[in-house]
C-alpha cells in the first residue's frame, strides 16, 4: 500500500508502539523502546522525536499538543496509519537476521592484537553477555505469567537463548586464550 511517504523499520516501530500503547509522546516511546524492542532492535533514539512528526505530516498519526505546561506533543495512530502497519505485519520477512557485534568485529582482527588484548576482550564480552542474559531472564520472569503478552515474552525468550549462546562462546574464547597464554 502506498502512503505517499517512505516507511522504514523505525516508522513501523513508532506506529506499532502507538497502536499498542495508545496516544504517546516521543518520550513515552523512548521509554517503551528502552524496556522492550531496544533489547533487540538498536537504533538512534533521536529518531523517536523526529519520526512521529514526519508520520503526522503524512496523516498516519494525529498530533495533539498540550495547551499549557510543557506543551508536549502526543501522537495517536489514525486509520491511515493502521493500514500500512497491518500490511507490514503480514508481509513475510525474507532477509536473514542481521547480527552486528563490535566484539566479534574485534575478534575477527585478533591476530593483529596482543594475546592480552584478546583475553581482555573475551572476558569483557563474556561479562557483558551474562549481564544481558540476566536482563532477558528478568523480562521473561516478570511477564511470562501474562497470556496477553505471550508473543512479546517469546521475543525475550529468543534473547535469552542468544545471550546465553554468546556468553558461552566468549567464555570458551577466554578459556582457549588462557590455555594459549599458559602454553
pLDDT in tens, 72-101: 999 999 999 999 999 999 999 998 888 888
> Are residues 86 and 14 part of one domain?
yes
> Are residues 108 and 82 part of one domain?
no
pTM assigned to the model: 0.76
- 2 part of a folded domain: no
Give residue 136's domain range: 102-182
- 124 part of a folded domain: yes
Under 8 Å between Cβ of 75 and 20 = no
Report the chain's mean pLDDT, rounded to a whole number. 93
- 128, 125, 155: which is closest to 139 by C-alpha? 155
Under 8 Å between Cβ of 32 and 17 = yes
Under 8 Å between Cβ of 22 and 16 = no
pLDDT of residue 2: 56
Q: Looking at residues 18-39, what average pLDDT do you find? A: 92
Amino acid at each position: 500500500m502506498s502512503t505517499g511517504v517512505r516507511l522504514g523499520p523505525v516508522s513501523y516501530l513508532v506506529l506499532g508502539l502507538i497502536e499498542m500503547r495508545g496516544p504517546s509522546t516521543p518520550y513515552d516511546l523512548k521509554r517503551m523502546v528502552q524496556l522492550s524492542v531496544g533489547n533487540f532492535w538498536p537504533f538512534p533514539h533521536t529518531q523517536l522525536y523526529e519520526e512521529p512528526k514526519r508520520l503526522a505530516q503524512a496523516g498516519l498519526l494525529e498530533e495533539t499538543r498540550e495547551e499549557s505546561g510543557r506543551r508536549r506533543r502526543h501522537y495517536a495512530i489514525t486509520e491511515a496509519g493502521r493500514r500500512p502497519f497491518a500490511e507490514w505485519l503480514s508481509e513475510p520477512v525474507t532477509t536473514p537476521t542481521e547480527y552486528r557485534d563490535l566484539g566479534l568485529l574485534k575478534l575477527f582482527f585478533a591476530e593483529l592484537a596482543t594475546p592480552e588484548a584478546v583475553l581482555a576482550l573475551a572476558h569483557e564480552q563474556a561479562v557483558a553477555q551474562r549481564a544481558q542474559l540476566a536482563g532477558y531472564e528478568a523480562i521473561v520472569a516478570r511477564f511470562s505469567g501474562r497470556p496477553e503478552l505471550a508473543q512479546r515474552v517469546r521475543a525475550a525468550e529468543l534473547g535469552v537463548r542468544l545471550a546465553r549462546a554468546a556468553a558461552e562462546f566468549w567464555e570458551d574464547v577466554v578459556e582457549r586464550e588462557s590455555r594459549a597464554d599458559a602454553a
